[in-house]
Structure 1
Amino acid sequence: MGGGSTLGGRRSRGHLVGVRTARIAAVSAVALIGTVLVAGQAEGTGGGGGSLKPVVTGLNGPRGVAAYDGKIVYSVGDGSVYEAWAYGKNKGIKKLGTVPGGFPPAIDTNRWGVTYALTGAGGEPGQPIPPGGATLFRMRPGKAPLPIANIAKYQAKDPDPYNVSESPTETNPFGVAVLRDGTILVADAANNDLLRVWPNGKIKTVARLKPRVIKAPSNLGGQLVPSEAVATSVTVGSDGYYYVGELRGFPATPGTSQIWRIKPGSVNAVCDPVKPYKGHCQRYADGYTSIVDLAAGPRGTLAVVQLARDSWLAWEMSGQPTAVGSLFLQYRGKYNKAGYKKELVRGKLQLPAGVAFNKYGSLFVSSPLFGPGAVYRVR
């Protein structure tokens, strides 16, 4: 992928999620088409089961979704974060603040309603990270966002030992999850690792995701090539384990994105696709495509969001302004492995980006990542 904008403001190593500026402009230019798509989502029933009920509409580039009590929290394209009532359309909307970067941050909210927002790196590889980029913020109503940890500063001294391309210290924080003890997990899509951040700014590396040798699609040569994990998402399961989802770097072959299960409290664990069932990080599920978010639900269920069902690279190469993504429920199987999975609202989500369960078991999803969109409740 060439230069220009990316999902996190910066192209990550291994050709992570390149979305050219022209593509974003094209999405904005077809706002009317986007509005029609969103309306269709709200009214339709997916072939995979379930329907979409709008909770908050009229959003520009909705991404992050979190939930607590009877509320949802969500982020939008200019870096702003809001909360709203989860069970009434456009009800109780309150702005929590705006973080730097001009791109919707990843977010998560603890059980007391404190929200954490994670910004990406911004700009292009090799360029300085702008102020407020690659930073974890704490957000409280009526107060300015408070920077908690500078992820880029930490990664500069913690290079990826399994680096395939670009700089081994490159960073693009992309996924966030709050633990019950008040620490925060951060998935870094460029450094291919999972970090744990303390409220005082202390950081430790929980796990590193190694590249996977995959077969490129036939239109890209069909050879076996090393492809970076691109850790875009993290959630904490009902079993207390950490689950990390992969986007999959170039050539983004469909069906090669994994979900890893990491033992709580791990430090410097290795997630190895060659030895996927060894150590404190083990493969939980395989066969996904372009994962951008995970959410843990009741009884071991995971909600899994795929940005584009044919892969982010296939979308990029298609020249189309948008693409159909996917939302799955992944059920727990035996022996800490994934069981069967079920697709919801099939064909009804364009470039979905964020997902969350609340404590009542309701499921929420945002779509599309670029252009006019909404946060929906899946029924």
Structure 2
Amino acid sequence: MGVRTRIATVAALALAGSVLVAAPAEAGGTKYGTTIKPVVSGLVSPRGVATFGGKIIYSVGDGSVYEAWAHNGKQIRKLGQVLGGFPPAIDTNKWGVTYALTGAGGEPEAPPVPGGATLYKLRPGKAPLKIADIAKYQVKDPDPYNTNGPAEETNPFGVAALGDGTVLVADAAGNDLLRVWPNGHIKTVARLKPRVVTTPAGLGPDAPPAGTKIPAEAVATSVTVGSDGYWYVGELRGFPATPGTSQIWRIKPGSYNAVCDPANPYQGKCTRYADGYTSIVDLAGGPRGTLAVVELAKVSWLQWEMGGSPVGSLYLQFPGRWHKAGFKKELAPGELILPAGTAISRSGKVYVTSPLFGPPGAVYQVVKK
């Protein structure tokens, strides 16, 4: 599947030495800008990134997952390889165990390809261990708020490994957050409802007229655990991909069948944490309540698909009051092309992968200019 068609699949399935973690006042200053420096270079379609100890774990387009030293980028070993074509989402838990999550693959609305929509545990020197078949679960757990295509569609896209051995999975087509146990048992944590958005201009004659209000699906692409222990989920936003309508939700740990409702965003166990983002594809929790937030394209994934700018964004989102987001700062503005994944080390170093499609790609560290 082609480069542009691949990200269309993601959306179509749901159309239907850093001091970056600082006090908000310091981070908001203009005296020190930020830039990126490559840590691991020469990668093809890098996406997932995680940290453990002094190491960086990352995934690439053929489905391989590697481990490298953070200080010099030298590769240590290959952790495993899962279905390729689109790089898997990955995360590493506090014991150093890495999980890889494959998407549906194939064409929109078609059944997942073999090895797709599956959560794996990676075992260096051995074949990846299949933990759970996400597609099989979603057949019996259809999206009750689905607005387009089969309600049983699945495209697992984001993953977060919890400290108790379970794993969170954000499903971009199911518009929900799942929790997976080591024995493969799955429960639905939360469902993300569609949001009514205003259709932007410039989408062509087949789109609703500019200004038309239509429901757009959440497209849950990302999940992370904040330093407060809460679970955070980010949205891409389905068609018409209106810029500034991607939200970050804050979910109480241990919740099941919670509802993330943009019409009532501050009720229940899932509440809106942040708003105003565009085409979120990854989140990472950091010290003192910070979140790293990756936007695939500033103009939105759809505008990029139509030939718009491929420049994306990486933000450091600081906490505010009453469990809502506060100040945010863009890191290395204008330097990232189709960024895909992010991680924050325990010491506060921020990493990001780019570009999602094709070479030359790298895992970058954000540093002061």
Scaled by the length of structure 1, the TM-score of the pair is 0.88
Say whether residues 1:377 and 2:365 are aligned partners.
yes
User: Are 2:351 and 2:363, in contact at CA under 8 Å, matched by a contact in 1?
Assistant: yes
User: What secondary structure, in the 3-state scheme, does the structure 2 residue paired with 1:218 have?
Assistant: coil
Q: Report the equivalent of 1:276.
A: 265
Q: Distance in 1 between matches of 2:340 and 2:8?
A: 12
Say whether residues 1:128 and 2:108 are aligned partners.
no
Say whether residues 1:172 and 2:155 are aligned partners.
yes
Note the 1:110-189 alignment, pairs <5 A: 110-189=93-172
Say whether residues 1:359 and 2:359 are aligned partners.
no
User: What secondary structure, in the 3-state scheme, does the structure 1 residue paired with 2:305 have?
Assistant: helix
User: Are 2:157 and 2:171, in contact at CA under 8 Å, matched by a contact in 1?
Assistant: yes
Q: CA deviation at 1:128?
A: 2.5
User: What secondary structure, in the 3-state scheme, does the structure 1 residue paired with 2:75 have?
Assistant: coil
AA aligned opposite 1:81 = V
User: Are 1:12 and 1:189, in contact at CA under 8 Å, matched by a contact in 2?
Assistant: no
Q: Distance in 1 between matches of 2:342 and 2:154?
A: 23
Deviates more, 1:118-127 or 1:209-218: 118-127
Note the 1:269-348 alignment, pairs <5 A: 269-318=258-307, 323-348=310-335
- Say what the alpha-carbon RMSD is for the aligned residues: 1.9
Say whether residues 1:94 and 2:65 are aligned partners.
no
Q: CA deviation at 1:6?
A: 2.1
Q: Report the equivalent of 1:223.
A: 212
Q: CA deviation at 1:11?
A: 5.1
AA aligned opposite 1:123 = G
Q: CA deviation at 1:3?
A: 12
Q: CA deviation at 1:12?
A: 3.8
Q: Distance in 1 between matches of 2:285 and 2:86?
A: 24
CA deviation map 1:353-379 (0-9, x unaligned): 000011111111000001111001111
Note the 1:38-57 alignment, pairs <5 A: 49-57=33-41
Aligned positions, number:
346
User: Are 2:93 and 2:161, in contact at CA under 8 Å, matched by a contact in 1?
Assistant: yes
- 1:243 corresponds, among 232, 253, 261, to 232
- 2:61 corresponds, among 65, 68, 77, to 77
Counting aligned pairs with the same residue, the percent is 70
User: Are 1:214 and 1:225, in contact at CA under 8 Å, matched by a contact in 2?
Assistant: yes
User: What secondary structure, in the 3-state scheme, does the structure 2 residue paired with 1:154 have?
Assistant: helix
Q: CA deviation at 1:219?
A: 2.6
Flag structure 1 segments of 5+ consecutive residues without an equivalent. 17-45
Scaled by the length of structure 2, the TM-score of the pair is 0.90
Q: Distance in 2 between matches of 1:12 and 1:64?
A: 21
Q: Distance in 2 between matches of 1:8 and 1:185?
A: 24
- The 4+ residue runs of structure 1 with deviation greater than 3 A are 2-5, 7-16
User: Are 1:101 and 1:120, in contact at CA under 8 Å, matched by a contact in 2?
Assistant: no
CA deviation map 1:13-42 (0-9, x unaligned): 3438xxxxxxxxxxxxxxxxxxxxxxxxxx
User: Are 1:205 and 1:268, in contact at CA under 8 Å, matched by a contact in 2?
Assistant: yes
Q: Distance in 2 between matches of 1:374 and 1:236?
A: 25
Q: CA deviation at 1:127?
A: 2.1
Q: Distance in 1 between matches of 2:3 and 2:66?
A: 31
Flag structure 2 segments of 5+ consecutive residues without an equivalent. 17-29, 204-208
Q: Distance in 1 between matches of 2:219 and 2:127?
A: 31
Change (3 A) 1:161 1:302: same
